[in-house]
């Protein structure tokens, strides 16, 4: 099932330390509501790799960066998840602005040195943080890199995450190809999957990986310059609810 298919694509080469266009709060896609135990989960796309997930008192910022635009009107997070060291995922100044004295910042070791007192998680670890179960999932390239023998994202450096909130398992993939650890995931209710070249994977490759673990709902994100309609077409008839949102509104 397809919902709200209205992506506007903006060709743009995403550098390793990408800067994404500023967007105003009023121009964000409308938040989505997903029924869950204890009330709806609210999904707020912000820009590119940045989003907010909220459920009752639980508010989670994912990869907050200044280039994603205004955070006006968004609740302060109780947890901030950092996936990687690149500039479209790690912005220490914005993390400092978004956090409160009670906020827990979760990050891989590679990003920890740029953050104040983070909770460090390694690939494969599971921790309970402020009542949330958070699993760190490997995110990495299988084949793509800037030169022979190099990868854009090395295994073990960054984290994807599975967060259990409101009885739902939400997977934020980070920058990754369709790695075995993704394909082996079980019982995922909502997934955020990247698809941009040369850094992650094509829409067709992303769809193939999604079919392997079959989340109930999937959002393409981190897709600048790609034809997400190819992702939609590849998942037609799969029973997966594909939700296209305009992460690059201007």
Convert the pLDDT of each residue in 37-76 to its tens digit: 999 999 999 999 999 999 999 999 999 999 998 899 999 9
7 part of a folded domain: no
Residue 64, CA distances (Å) to 82, 84, 141, 191, 209 in order: 8, 12, 23, 18, 26
Q: What does pTM read for this prediction?
A: 0.88
CATH number of the domain where residue 123 is located: 3.60.15.10
199 part of a folded domain: yes
**Residue 97 domain boundaries:** 32-243
**177-222 residue pLDDT tens:** 999 999 999 999 999 999 999 999 999 999 999 999 999 999 999 9
21 part of a folded domain: no
Percent above pLDDT 90 for the chain: 83
Phi, psi of 240 (to 5 degrees): -85, 130
2 part of a folded domain: no
Residue 198, CA distances (Å) to 12, 64, 78, 162, 242 in order: 12, 23, 33, 25, 23
Residues facing residue 193 across a β-bridge? 220
225 part of a folded domain: yes
- What pLDDT score was predicted for residue 8? 35
Q: Which of 209, 135, 150 is nearest to 177 (CA)?
A: 209
**What is the pLDDT of the chain when averaged over all its residues?**
89
Percent above pLDDT 70 for the chain: 89
- What pLDDT score was predicted for residue 129? 96
- What pLDDT score was predicted for residue 70? 87
pLDDT of 21 above 50:
no
- What pLDDT score was predicted for residue 250? 57
3-state SS, residue 50: strand
pLDDT of 22 above 80:
no
- What pLDDT score was predicted for residue 5? 37
Spatial separation of the C-alpha atoms in residues 227 and 10, rounded to whole Å:
10
69 part of a folded domain: yes
Q: Are 191 and 221 in contact (CB under 8 A)?
A: no
Q: Are 12 and 250 in contact (CB under 8 A)?
A: no
Taking the alpha carbons at both ends of the chain, their separation in whole angstroms is 27
25 part of a folded domain: no
* Tally of domains within the chain: 1
**107-144 residue pLDDT tens:** 999 999 999 999 999 999 999 999 999 999 999 999 99
36 part of a folded domain: yes
- What pLDDT score was predicted for residue 131? 93
């Amino acid at each position: 099932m397809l919902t709200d298919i209205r992506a506007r694509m903006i060709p743009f080469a995403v550098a390793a330390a990408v800067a994404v266009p500023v967007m105003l709060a009023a121009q964000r896609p409308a938040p989505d509501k997903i029924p869950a135990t204890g009330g709806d989960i609210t999904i707020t796309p912000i820009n590119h790799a940045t989003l907010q997930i909220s459920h009752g008192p639980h508010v989670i910022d994912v990869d907050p960066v200044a280039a994603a635009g205004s955070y006006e009107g968004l609740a302060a997070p109780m947890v901030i998840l950092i996936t990687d060291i690149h500039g479209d995922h790690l912005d220490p100044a914005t993390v400092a602005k978004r956090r409160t004295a009670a906020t827990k910042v979760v990050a891989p070791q590679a990003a920890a040195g740029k953050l104040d007192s983070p909770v460090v998680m390694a690939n494969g670890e599971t921790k309970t943080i402020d009542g949330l179960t958070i699993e760190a999932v490997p995110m990495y390239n299988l084949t793509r890199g800037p030169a022979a023998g190099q990868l854009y994202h090395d295994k073990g450096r960054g984290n994807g995450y599975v967060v259990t909130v409101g009885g739902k398992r939400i997977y934020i993939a980070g920058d990754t190809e369709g790695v075995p650890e993704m394909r082996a995931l079980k019982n995922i209710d909502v997934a955020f999957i990247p698809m941009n070249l040369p850094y992650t994977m094509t829409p067709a490759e992303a769809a193939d990986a999604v079919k392997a673990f079959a989340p109930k709902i999937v959002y393409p994100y981190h897709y600048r310059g790609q034809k997400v309609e190819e992702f939609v077409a590849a998942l037609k008839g799969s029973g997966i609810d594909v939700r296209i949102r305009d992460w690059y509104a201007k």
